Amino acid sequence: MYQVGYCYYLGIGVEIDKHKAFAYYLKSAEAGNSTGIRKTAICYYYGIGVEKNLDKFYEWLEKNSEYGKCAHCNEDNSRPAWCQSCDPDIATRWTSRNKHIDDCMKSSQLRAWKYENVIEWIPFDRLSDVKEIGKGGFGSVYSATWLDGIRKVDKINYDNAYGYIYKRAREPYSTVALKTLTGSMENNNDFLKEFKSLMKCTLNYVDMLAIYGITQNAQTNEYLIVFQYANDGSLYKYLRKNFSALTWESKLQILKDISSKLDSIHGCAYIHADFHSGNILQDQQSYIADLGLSKKNDENDSEDNIYGVMPYVAPEVLLGQKFAKAADIYGLGVIMSEMSTGQRPLDGHEFDTKLAVKICKGLRPEFVPGTPKCYIELAKKCMDSNPQKRPSAINVCNTIINWLYNYEIKKQFLEADKVIKSLPISKHSDEMYTSKIISTKLIAKAIKADSAQINLDITKI
Ligand SMILES: [Zn+2]
With a cut of 60, say whether residue 192 has pLDDT above it: yes
Which residues have their alpha-adjacent CB atom under 5 A from ion ligand 1?
Answer: 70, 72-73, 83, 85-86
Higher pLDDT among residues 380 and 42, named by residue: 380
Residues with Cβ < 8 Å from 153, sequence gap 6 or more?
80, 81, 82, 114, 115, 116, 166, 167, 168, 169
Distance 212 CA to ligand 1 centre (A): 23
- Report the chain's mean pLDDT, rounded to a whole number: 87
Q: How much is the pLDDT for 160?
A: 54
With a cut of 90, say whether residue 205 has pLDDT above it: no
Could you report the per-residue pLDDT of 312-325, keeping only the tens digit for each? 999 999 999 988 99
How does residue 456 score in pLDDT terms, banded at 50, 70 and 90?
low
Considering the segment(s) 81-228 as one domain, its CATH architecture is 2-Layer Sandwich (3.30)
* Mean pLDDT to the nearest integer, 378-402: 97
Higher pLDDT among residues 199 and 175, named by residue: 175
Of how many residues is the chain composed? 461
Distance 90 CA to ligand 1 centre (A): 10
Distance 110 CA to ligand 1 centre (A): 14
Distance 78 CA to ligand 1 centre (A): 9
Q: How much is the pLDDT for 397?
A: 96
Distance 80 CA to ligand 1 centre (A): 12
With a cut of 70, say whether residue 254 has pLDDT above it: yes
With a cut of 60, say whether residue 403 has pLDDT above it: yes
Q: Report whether 155 contacts 79 (CB < 8 A).
A: no
Distance 52 CA to ligand 1 centre (A): 36
**CA R_g for the chain:** 28
Residues 403, 413: Cα–Cα separation, whole Å: 9
Q: How much is the pLDDT for 65?
A: 58
* Mean pLDDT to the nearest integer, 252-275: 93
Q: How much is the pLDDT for 189?
A: 65
Distance 391 CA to ligand 1 centre (A): 48
**Neighbour-count burial for 396-406, b at 16+ CB within 10 Å, e otherwise:** bbbbbeebeee
Q: How much is the pLDDT for 295?
A: 77
From the candidate CATH numbers 3.30.300.180, 1.25.40.10, 3.40.50.1860, 3.30.420.280, the one assigned to the domain spanning 1-64: 1.25.40.10
Distance 79 CA to ligand 1 centre (A): 11
How does residue 169 score in pLDDT terms, banded at 50, 70 and 90?
very high
Residues 346, 409: Cα–Cα separation, whole Å: 28
CA 63 to chain centre: 29
Distance 58 CA to ligand 1 centre (A): 28
* Mean pLDDT to the nearest integer, 8-34: 86
State whether CATH 1.10.510.10 applies to domain 235-451.
yes
Domain extents for the chain? 1-64, 81-228, 235-451
Q: How much is the pLDDT for 341?
A: 93
Residue among 218, 217, 133 nearest 176 (CA): 133
Strand pairing of 211-216 and 120-121?
parallel
Higher pLDDT among residues 335 and 55, named by residue: 335
With a cut of 70, say whether residue 422 has pLDDT above it: yes
Q: How much is the pLDDT for 182?
A: 58
Residues with Cβ < 8 Å from 234, sequence gap 6 or more?
134, 277, 278, 279, 280, 281, 282
With a cut of 60, say whether residue 300 has pLDDT above it: no
Higher pLDDT among residues 363 and 134, named by residue: 363
Distance 163 CA to ligand 1 centre (A): 21
With a cut of 70, say whether residue 163 has pLDDT above it: no
**H or E segment to which residue 258 belongs:** helix 248-267
Q: How much is the pLDDT for 325?
A: 95
With a cut of 80, say whether residue 283 has pLDDT above it: yes
Q: How much is the pLDDT for 276?
A: 94
**What DSSP string describes 198-248?**
HHHHHHTT--PPPEEEEEE-TTT--EEEEEE--TT-BHHHHHHHHGGG--H
